[in-house]
Amino acid sequence: MFFSNFEFLIAWRYLRAKRSDGGISAMTWISLIGITLAVMALIVTLAVRSGFRHEFVESILGANAHITLYNSGKLGSTGGYSRGIENYKLISEKLNGFDSVLNAAPLVKGQLMASGNGRNIGVEVFGIQKKDLMFTKKVVEPEKSYGDLENFTDGLALGLGVARELGVFVGDKVQLTSPDGLKTAFGTSPRVSLFEVVYIFQVGRYDIDRTRVYMPFKEAQIFFNRENSADEVEITLFKPESIKEELKQKINSTFPQLSYWTWRDSSGAFLQALEMEDNVMFLILSILVLIASMNIVSGLIMLVKNKGKDIGVLRTLGVTQNSILKIFFLCGVSVGVVGTVFGLVFGCLITFYIEPIFDLLDYILGGGVWDPSVRYLSRLPAKLELTDVISTVCLSLFLSFTVTIFPARRASKMNPVEALRHE
């Protein structure tokens, strides 16, 4: 064995010895608590970080198109500039034949003013067919929902934030106003229509729930004067996390007249900022683990000083320098290992119960701790990743093992004659 039973026995006696007997029980507890808190903080922070990234990506992929095809624009016969896609049916059929495409749907899109109960807000309207809306995962399976999506052809589907701002619920009427409405002999007059609210959903992203409205595709074509065209064709993929280059090349060759952008093109900068923030946060909290590990050094130095006579006696009895090093190495490593285990357990428990803990904190502080309009998410997310846990445990153990070597080597180099000179 690398460590003998004798070395384990001596290390255990030193760790549990009282201060009056030359032990360092107080410093041991301080080191243990410090490492526990540092590891716990690192695990919880990494879990919240992973939760944020997961929720943002999940909401992006679940409520938006993975690839969007659009017309860069062309000059029409009447002199107007048109961006509409007239052959959207043919394009959708061809795209649905691609292996990696789950669904391709034409979309009419525009910004309008919504009114209800004397309140007015700006909304973004998505005109889409019911069968295509069923592929929008976050709308079909939201955090919260009211009404029945089966009735979508009879009215509107609103984000929960829109419904709250307007003070409407399922069955109420919402008025939509478009400045680009009816064309008459006296000019263009605003188009105003009433629609019934048939479905309310909460995706969990404030910027979506506060602005998103879904309208049946045919009604949207009429309302936005797109009787024979669509604004975009949205593509939903089987595996949106990895968009293959072969698919991009196939889209370019099949539809050279159209341009496209992916969900990574629209949100890539934000995800890169999250990744950079993650790395900086991990570095800062790693320093906290290092500071906590340094308490082991101070405790071991005090232990070596208090146990100088014991070291001299052990060396006189024939205990080698290597055994002395192992004894004090075990003293420091034991504190690091136990502290890491405690930090791992408490960190995982806090992660699993972070929502009730945060709700309690919010209640104690009088509410308003979490503002969805600033955080963009409706709740504090946390997702425990195995890689984060392993990296935290490895970091804590590595630092604990490393800082323990130096005071342990100092103890092993102690001259027994000098240690027993004044005894």
* Token representation of residue 106: 């034409």
The per-residue pLDDT string of the chain (423 residues; one tens digit each, 9 = 90 and over) reads 477 777 778 777 777 766 555 455 677 778 888 889 989 988 998 888 888 888 778 878 888 889 999 887 665 555 455 678 888 999 999 999 998 899 999 999 999 999 998 899 999 999 999 999 999 998 999 988 999 999 999 999 999 999 999 999 999 999 998 877 666 655 667 788 899 999 999 988 888 889 999 999 999 998 888 888 899 999 999 888 888 888 889 998 999 888 888 888 877 777 777 778 778 888 888 888 888 888 778 777 777 777 777 777 777 777 777 888 888 888 888 888 989 999 999 999 999 988 888 778 777 877 666 666 555 566 677 888 898 899 999 998 998 888 888 888 877 777 666 656 555
Q: Pairing between strand 156-159 and 187-202?
A: parallel
Q: Indicate the pTM of the whole model.
A: 0.72
Q: Which of 62, 48, 47 is nearest to 267 (CA)?
A: 62
**pLDDT value for 374:** 54
Q: φ and ψ at 258, to 5 degrees?
A: -115, 155
Q: Which of 280, 416, 223, 303 is nearest to 16 (CA)?
A: 303
**Rounded to whole angstroms, how far apart are CA atoms 405 and 397?**
13
From the number of C-beta atoms within 10 Å of its C-beta (0-12, 13-18, 19+), residue 2 rates as exposed
List all residues 6 or more positions away from 130 whose beta carbon is below 8 Å from its beta carbon: 149, 152, 153, 216
Q: φ and ψ at 51, to 5 degrees?
A: -65, -45
